[in-house]
Structure 1
Amino acid sequence: MEVGDVARRLSDSDGRTVLIDGRSGSGKTTLAIELHRVWGSSTVVRLDDIYPGWDGLAWAVDHIRTELLHPRSQGRPGRWRGWDWTTNAPAGWHVVEPGQRLIVEGVGALAGPNRALADLGIWVDTDDDERKRRALQRDGDTYRPHWERWAAQEVEYIATYQPRAQADWIVTETPESRVWTAGEVERVHRRRREE
């Protein structure tokens, strides 16, 4: 499986919404950018632009469901509110039309209630040491004092929603390669197609 294969499957099925989840530094953004390039005209929504500060993971999970994904599933425009990390205050609203291709990437994207409103879910796994190295290399001293605080929210989110189990595909990132493995959701789809 490659990103191009995913894009073709989405196009063939007229898929419109993809959720990419995984812990901080796992490679979600890179995968979302690649899918965006291959899939064509799509909007990428980064949860990093939505979380209302360092304690906002749970809020963002609910926000994207109620404001973005649910309205789109009903044929209405969805929207999301940004967060200005510089002023530590809410920023403007952004609209995503129901027929527009959408990629939502970030920790919290693949919660069960959110997955039910999307066409495809991807969980990205990467070794913990590598994740931390990447995240701190990317965000440096801005993120360093908040690493443990954010990681605790990730652990709680994973325990509550078990997002990996909601994934069609598990992508394992290593320094040498990216390995795609069918998740439980994809295996169920395959069994149904074979019946």
Structure 2
Amino acid sequence: MGRKSDARQRILDAGATLFGQRAYSTIGVAEICAEADVPKGSFYYFFPSKQALALAVVDEHWVWQRGQWMGILTAPEPIVDRLRALFIATAEMQSAALKGTGAVAGCLFGNLALEVSAQDDPLRARLQEIFDEQIDIVEGAIREAVTAGEVSVASPRETARSIVAQIEGMILFAKLFNDPAQLDQLWQNSMKLLGLGDAAVAA
């Protein structure tokens, strides 16, 4: 039985594991408690519902991912190097999941968004906020690059939106085909969005 002091984190970790492996709708509180090795009473002490846990799992994952993205995209490097580092980190995460579990995990946010977009307003709203924040971070890096004369784009916001959409889409392909190599196309496509073309890709 999990100690009281770490029960909440055990439940969060169990939720993150299960939500990353299977459809959200197929996972029940009893299974989460079994994975966390805590009684149902402990679950409901910390979380009034599975939805509340999912929101907490999403927030915890975003704290980690936001730190990673900010560390990479605010580095004092040219935009092409920052984006390359972001794509490498993304691919490495999927490769690690494949090596550890035999399956590409995909994106927790994208996986949940596909399932709950038509039925779970609080979770959908939170995921929308997170995707908007991702776009904000990429947009900030692009605007810095425009100011520095590295790139010239008509709309940094829309370019950032397209890059984030590409990341999500290629991760979905990587999960579908169980192949992290699907992410290789991210680099070439994003350089084209930034108007840098084949020269930057080959650099």
Please report the TM-score for the alignment, with normalisation by the length of structure 2.
0.25
More helix by share: 2
Higher RCO structure (Cα 8 Å, ≥6 apart): 1
Q: Which has the larger radius of gyration?
A: 2
More strand by share: 1
